[in-house]
Amino acid sequence: MVRKPGDVERSLTKKGFQRKEGDHSYFYYFTKAGKKTSVFTKTSHGCKELDDSLLGMMAGQCKLSRLNFDLLIECPLDRDTYERKLVEGGAIEAQTPSK
């Protein structure tokens, strides 16, 4: 399955990723508490389609299986569940609510 980069990028930003422009568009995940994490992925400015290989690499960068990455992009996997998966997988630390 191929996807349009714009569709993937829009979905990532809705799930807590923030874009940083450069030679590529980098997307860094920020926790719901606003903390920048080491979880990131990127897309190329010249890329017109993301093929299975690229989507697989992006899934790995986002600390997800390819199936869960597809769910993240298609929206059944919401931000709360994604962040919980990152914590359970040890990719990020659990955030305590600030008082």
The first and second tokens of residue 72, run together, are: 């993240």
- The per-residue pLDDT for 38 is 95
Reply yes or no on whether the pLDDT at 80 is more than 70.
Answer: yes
pLDDT, mean over the chain: 92
In terms of C-beta density within 10 A (0-12 exposed, 13-18 middle, 19 or more buried), how is residue 57 classed?
A: middle
Share of the chain above pLDDT 90, in %: 80
Superfamily holding 5-88: Hypothetical protein. (3.30.920.30)
Mean pLDDT of 16-39: 92
In terms of C-beta density within 10 A (0-12 exposed, 13-18 middle, 19 or more buried), how is residue 79 classed?
A: middle
Reply yes or no on whether the pLDDT at 70 is more than 80.
Answer: yes
Mean pLDDT of 36-62: 92
The three-point CA angle 42-85-89 to 5° equals: 90
Reply yes or no on whether the pLDDT at 98 is more than 90.
Answer: no
Rounded Cα distance between 22 and 79, Å, is 26
Share of the chain above pLDDT 70, in %: 96
